[in-house]
Amino acid sequence: MSMYLHRSTKTTVLRRAGASRCKYCNTPVEWFERYDALKIPLTNEFPSRRVPAKMRWHIERGIAYPGTDAYSGYCRIPHPAICPAVDHPDLPPDIQDLVRVLAVRMRTAIEKGEFTPYVEPVAQEEAEHPEPEQAQQVRHVIAYGGTLRIGPCAIEGLRCIARDSQTGQRCESAVCDLSEGRWETVSIDEKQATGRQGQMVLNLTGGTIWAWQVADFSIAVRWWRQHCPEHHNSPQPDHVQNEIIPFHPLRHDAYVLTERPADYDLTPDDRVVIHHGPTTRTTCASPSCSNTSVLTHPTGWLCWQCEKQERRRRRTHQRWGQNPESPDNSDDTTPGPDWEGTGVDGAGLPN
């Protein structure tokens, strides 16, 4: 049997090739090309009046678009939004009933041995950097130069892991110093956000999250090694294992921050104070000059520019044989020593 695409279709995907089942819950889905060249798994059609507007999709000439089909009044739902293998908080009652029905089907297929849920394999990164045992519900990401690492708790709760040379126990000092960084939005690696869960993370965050951005590489090394300033370059081995591990958008999707954390700004006493210099300044004595100095000078002080001009003026008067302090010399026509033998008289006229 041969299958052909209709001449009005905008996609090259055959419906037979697009039919599939979710590997996590075994629910039938259909893959369609989206309007932005991506692909999306959609469910069967449902009445649009029972589906929230943000979850409605429709098919037009083989391409998936957001919204409702204007001719039929039906729509499709993205399967990741109702997959029973994933927790979905704050769903409308009608959608919750649908997820409950799919969950019953999934459990029945598992009990009968007809379906085995797919389990993500353990990555090499997870084996090398296991999750800390005492991880808290709030975990902050520390960033520098595009490298993201996540701690076991909030940044203010990070404790130094070095060994105290005096007590032999773990250091009691904190790692955090609010003057060494600030909260900024950073981009997550979209190559790591693969699959259905990765698409959900990208849709939730828009590809950016809030992270504590440190200002210098040496500071970033100290934070990532989980050392206080006193033990930054300590040659002794750490008392416990490092609790700061590389950030992965799928492993740590529950800890991503989509809003800037509050109460992390420096207090007025901790802020950098910019001094504008003394309030009184010495002004240059030249009438046409507005230069000032922060130092205290005697009356008649000249700035370096006016002092340079004054020295040039004095040399000129000395060359002409005039005394710059005597006003009567302006009418003196007696030739100076420089005019002798030049053929010019004292009045500036040729002989």
The pLDDT, as a whole number, for residue 278 is 55
Q: How confident is the model at residue 18, as a pLDDT?
A: 76
Average pLDDT of each block of 10 consecutive residues along the chain (351 residues)?
56 69 91 84 90 90 86 89 86 90 93 84 58 78 88 88 84 86 86 72 82 87 87 80 85 84 64 55 84 80 86 83 52 47 45 43
State residue 338's pLDDT score. Answer: 47
Q: What is the predicted pLDDT for the residue at 349?
A: 45
pLDDT of residue 345: 47
- 3-state SS of 16-46 is HHHEEECCCCCCEEEEEEECCCCEEEECCCE
Which pLDDT score, from 0 to 100, does residue 276 have?
55
